[in-house]
Amino acid sequence: MTDTESAPGTHNWRTAGAPRLLQILAAAACLLAAGSSYAGASRQTPAEGPILYTFDCERLRAANLANPAARRAAWDELQVVTTLQGIVNRRSPHLYIQLVGDHGKIDRYWLGRLQEPGQWLAGRRLQPVATVDQLVVLFRGSIRGAVVWDERVPATSTVASTAAGVEDAVAVRYDPAAGSLYDRLVASPGGFRLPVRVRLLREDNSPLFTGSGTIPGTQLASTGSAKCDAHLWAVERYLKTGKCDPTRLAYYPSGWWLTRAGGSIERTLLSNHDYFISRRGFFFDLSPWDDESPDDDLGAPKGADARTLRTILRAAYDASKGRMILVGGFPPWDQKYTDATGRKHGGVPTEWRYAEILSCFNAFMDADAPGLDAMANASVFCRYPLASRYPQRNLPTDKTLLAKGWLRADGTVAPHFYVAIYVGDYDSAAWLYQRIPDLWDDPARGSVPIGWAFNPTLAERFPVGLAYTRRTASANDTFVAGDSGAGYLNPGNLAPPRKWSGLPSGIGAWEEHCRRYYRQWDLRVTGFVIDGYAPPMDAATLSAYARFSPGGVAAQKIPAASLVNGVPFLRMGFDLGDLESSAKEIVRIAKLHEMSFGIYRTILWSPAGQRALVDRLRELDPDIQVVDPHALFSLLGIVLEQEAAERLGKYRVPGR
């Protein structure tokens, strides 16, 4: 295909004109006749009923993204589809797309699970929709218009997603070329002629945001960055006015992706937008660093991005009245802001700086980190009806500990080397949604004790995954809270002085937030607290954890082992890498003491890998007792309570 030919899925509307629109209308009429009672003439959502419309994005995955025209066409289509999806799924599921995984296999897997007999969508009939144009006709009554953004200022693409949720309008890139989506949806007399609700460029098509003078529509002086000005314009218009949900922020890559050759259409993370649009969330894409200009805005003053990020977080904090704030997404370290793309800072330091800043504003991550970051259909999944409580089965009791020989009849703990594995990292709805199909269906699951560290706040975007794993768990599958409780933050930054915000303590808000999720998902153990660049937890923070996590807490910047108000705290061991060397190091540490307790972290290990580790540990030392985290903390608590300070030397828990 040459650059002048139509990209996949596009039509030349200037030559096709009204007859082509009539063809689209006729095709949509066939869809409606197939069973929908929706009438597009009035502004309403499709009627409740048995149909779930599906849209296959496979052609976008197959597009030649090295071709600039095809790259833009793919972006435009996915952005329109996902902004529309967020709008029409706001109250109940009507539109499901297939994108993530080879031939959309991840999305197909979860739809299949939801349509199993007796499950939530078992009664829904699937009706495929072939083109974007048919989707727009089908759901025209739910769309109030379009938000038009300017690719010369890529940040306006994220502003467009914010505006789309507030205005009930699809986001579309300005492109006057014949046959572009902008042409078909907005400009062409033979097209849809959607009214422009928000135009993020001037009427003469020059940039609205220039990085000079004052920020348009405000009294604010320009930051010197068109990128940051666009974000602050959105803060004034949507966040400070209460038009956005201040507890739902979204950190996903801007339209700067269009300037980068290659890559995958999934990596735009546009498919992650639908949930936040359905919740009227606020989108941003900013570097957390103060000491350099970002890749996508090299002429900006140093630190403008980081200052703008803090302004957004402070506005959200004020609007939410100090409640905890969920922030989806993650620093796009493979695209910008790190040494992977020529900047100063590494990926982990960038993550830790970002986490440090969020934590100072009562914000936590649902961390869609590169590698497994794409997610689709969260605006469908989030409508899943959850039970008020999901009790865990097979948690250890004194009776079961006695039966296994770990607890003796006199109430003391048998002297062994006790090891538990923290099975992470599942602090991202996208990671859970992509990995569960392989991990949970692994035949080895259930053969050894596993403490799955599924962060309970993933229930906001992916309750389906949490409910499914609870329903199908084996006797050896137990669940602990992931890092750092009900969301990924650094709890050391909840207590004053809070470096990046100067705000009062957030400990009370965090405890109330965690209590709700721990109660619903019957969580007793916090499997890992990430401290990052934060100071160690102070006494008030430790006491809060002891109250909402009474089964035990593993963390980094704490003593090797201690009791806090009767709750055992244990320092996290090293992260496991190569199986053989990791197993030998665990055994070496264990043998330093007559009795020891250790918890070690794996990342995305399969049940087969966990079983291989357990088998190797037992081969190296039969006295190694691999237990689930609940049993580990129960036994540790007994030792610490009975032996107290005079026995800690003999039963000292090894450090990292």
Same domain, 306 and 451: no
Same domain, 23 and 70: yes
Same domain, 216 and 336: yes
Closest-CA residue to 330 (of 370, 303, 278, 270): 370
pLDDT at 453 over 80: yes
Helices and strands (H and E) in the chain: how many: 20, 19
Same domain, 203 and 119: yes
Same domain, 307 and 432: no
CATH of the domain at 622: 3.20.20.490
Q: DSSP per residue over 312-336, as a string?
A: HHHHHHHHHTT--EEEEE---TTTS
Neighbours of 465 (CB within 10 A): 25
Q: How confident is the model at residue 429 (pLDDT cuts 50, 70, 90)?
A: very high
pLDDT at 40 over 50: no
**What is the average per-residue pLDDT within 469-497?**
97
Q: Can you give the pLDDT at residue 644?
A: 63
Quote the percentage of the chain above a pLDDT of 90: 88
Same domain, 432 and 288: no
**What is the average per-residue pLDDT within 420-442?**
96
Q: How confident is the model at residue 394 (pLDDT cuts 50, 70, 90)?
A: confident
Q: Can you give the pLDDT at residue 655?
A: 38
> Mapping DSSP to helix (H, G, I), strand (E, B) and coil, where does residue 567 land?
strand
> Mapping DSSP to helix (H, G, I), strand (E, B) and coil, where does residue 613 land?
helix
Write out pLDDT tens, residues 52-87: 999 999 999 999 999 999 999 999 999 999 999 999
**Domain boundary residue among 348, 381, 414?**
381
Write out pLDDT tens, residues 219-257: 999 999 999 999 999 999 999 999 999 999 999 999 999
Q: How confident is the model at residue 471 (pLDDT cuts 50, 70, 90)?
A: very high
Q: Can you give the pLDDT at residue 13?
A: 26
**Domain boundary residue among 381, 416, 433?**
381
Look over the chain and give the mean of its residue pLDDT values, rounded to a whole number. 91
Residue 110 lies in a domain: yes
Q: Can you give the pLDDT at residue 261?
A: 73
pLDDT at 48 over 70: no
Write out pLDDT tens, residues 524-536: 999 999 999 999 9
Residue 91 lies in a domain: yes
Residue 482 lies in a domain: no
**What is the average per-residue pLDDT within 95-124?**
96
Q: List strand residue ranges (DSSP E) for 367-521, in order.
A: 417-426, 450-454, 477-480
The rounded distance, in Å, linking the Cα atoms of 226 and 290 is 17
Residue 391 lies in a domain: no
Q: How confident is the model at residue 50 (pLDDT cuts 50, 70, 90)?
A: confident
Q: What is the Rg, in whole angstroms, of the alpha carbon atoms belonging to the chain? A: 26
Q: Can you give the pLDDT at residue 263?
A: 82
Domain containing 629 equals 398-457+523-532+546-647
Q: Can you give the pLDDT at residue 49?
A: 54
Residue 131 lies in a domain: yes
Q: How confident is the model at residue 399 (pLDDT cuts 50, 70, 90)?
A: very high
pLDDT at 45 over 90: no
pLDDT at 454 over 60: yes
Same domain, 317 and 364: yes
Same domain, 21 and 92: yes
Residue 605 lies in a domain: yes
Same domain, 359 and 445: no
Q: Can you give the pLDDT at residue 558?
A: 96
Same domain, 367 and 406: no
Same domain, 357 and 408: no
**What is the average per-residue pLDDT within 107-111?**
98
The rounded distance, in Å, linking the Cα atoms of 389 and 134 is 41
Residue 292 lies in a domain: yes
Q: DSSP per residue over 120-155, as a string?
A: TTTTPEEEEE--HHHHHHHTGGG--EEEEE-TTSTT
**What is the average per-residue pLDDT within 208-212?**
98
Structural domains in the chain (count):
2
Residue 350 lies in a domain: yes
Most confident range, picked from 5-19, 32-46, 95-109, 641-655: 95-109
* Stronger pLDDT, 19 or 390, i.e. the higher one: 390
Same domain, 132 and 277: yes
Q: Can you give the pLDDT at residue 33?
A: 45
The rounded distance, in Å, linking the Cα atoms of 485 and 365 is 11
Angle at 350 between CA 347 and CA 351, to 5 degrees: 90
pLDDT at 364 over 60: yes
